[in-house]
């Protein structure tokens, strides 16, 4: 069983037996993995507080092909990100980002995805409380782009004809993006998307920032993101963290 040393971010932690914990990690070299941290619950555990949610560090992993639960022997923290736990808005946004990676990520290594996730958590942690939602929205759409299913925002997602910059277009989750006037008639469930919202999603998908959002705009963007993600999930399980983030509105007041 080879020992692999990889940068990792803690996505989920839960207790296992009286002494151990199971973690879901995003790793630079092995994708998303589930690991057993033996003895992590003991008072004098060698892991200490290293296994906090959103913590980033170097994990020592024993990986065996075909095994669902791997073994972690050590985790040396390089970035703890305590600011994510100090504000409900930041915590909710970061939790939504982590849920996105857990639901759409895979066991295949992706250095770009790992870097994008790390940058997303850093940006949310470093944002003011009033800017946490915009930071999370920007990070979420950037991750969607890295995962390979960003919405079409320049050409019609049905006929692929260019769609001019107009005040409002129809956006269809099922079609995968904006629609020209002709194709919009074929998707009655599409929602109207203002030009400013279209520009914001395009900017976020490319890793760019936009001016601060008004509370109403931020909530509308959260709804569009949730609906788009649900359309592209392979199962019917709820996106609980995303729903809680949208309902809470802690940083939108």
Ranges of each domain in the chain: 3-79, 82-150+191-248
Higher pLDDT, 43 or 229: 229
- Is pLDDT above 80 for 43? no
| pLDDT for the residue 123 | 95
pLDDT tens for 61-84 read 998 888 889 999 889 999 999 999
**39-48, 164-173, 218-227: least confidently modelled range:** 39-48
| pLDDT for the residue 156 | 97
Average pLDDT over residues 137-159: 94
Cα separation, 65 vs 59, whole angstroms: 18
**Among 73, 53, 80, CA closest to 2:** 73
Other C-beta atoms within 10 Å of 208: how many?
12
**What pLDDT band is residue 253 in, cutting at 50, 70 and 90?**
very low
| pLDDT for the residue 1 | 64
Instruction: Compute the mean pLDDT over every residue in the chain, rounded to the nearest whole number.
Output: 89
**What pLDDT band is residue 20 in, cutting at 50, 70 and 90?**
confident
For 3-79, CATH number? 2.40.50.140
- Is pLDDT above 80 for 46? no
82-150+191-248 CATH pick, 1.10.260, 1.20.120, 3.30.43, 1.20.1440? 1.20.1440
Average pLDDT over residues 130-145: 93
- Is pLDDT above 90 for 21? no
pLDDT tens for 173-231 read 999 999 999 999 999 999 999 999 999 999 999 989 898 888 889 999 999 999 999 88
- Is pLDDT above 80 for 49? no
| pLDDT for the residue 250 | 47
Q: Which long-range contacts (CB under 8 A, 24 or more apart) does 183-187 make?
A: 183/156, 183/157, 183/158, 183/159, 186/158, 187/158
**What pLDDT band is residue 45 in, cutting at 50, 70 and 90?**
low
Cα separation, 248 vs 219, whole angstroms: 10
């Amino acid at each position: 069983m080879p020992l692999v040393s990889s940068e990792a971010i803690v996505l989920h932690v839960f207790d296992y037996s009286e002494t151990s914990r199971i973690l879901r990690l995003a790793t630079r070299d092995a994708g998303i993995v589930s690991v057993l941290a033996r003895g992590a619950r003991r008072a004098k555990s060698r892991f200490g507080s290293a296994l906090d949610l959103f913590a980033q560090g170097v994990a020592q992993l024993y990986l065996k092909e075909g095994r669902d639960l791997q073994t972690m022997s050590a985790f040396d923290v390089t970035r703890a990100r305590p600011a994510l736990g100090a504000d409900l808005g930041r915590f909710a946004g970061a939790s939504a980002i982590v849920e996105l990676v857990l639901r759409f990520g895979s066991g295949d290594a992706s250095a770009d995805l790992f870097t994008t996730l790390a940058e997303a958590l850093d940006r949310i942690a470093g944002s003011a409380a009033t800017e946490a939602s915009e930071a999370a929205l920007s990070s979420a759409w950037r991750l969607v782009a890295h995962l390979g299913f960003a919405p079409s925002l320049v050409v019609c997602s049905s006929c692929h004809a260019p769609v001019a910059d107009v005040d409002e277009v129809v956006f269809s989750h099922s079609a995968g993006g904006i629609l020209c006037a002709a194709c919009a008639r074929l998707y009655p469930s599409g929602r109207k998307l203002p030009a400013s919202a279209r520009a914001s999603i395009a900017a976020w998908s490319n890793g760019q920032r936009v001016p601060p959002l008004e509370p109403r705009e931020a909530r509308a963007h959260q709804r569009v993101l949730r609906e788009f993600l649900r359309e592209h999930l392979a199962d019917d399980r709820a996106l609980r963290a995303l729903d809680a983030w949208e309902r809470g509105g802690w940083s939108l007041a």
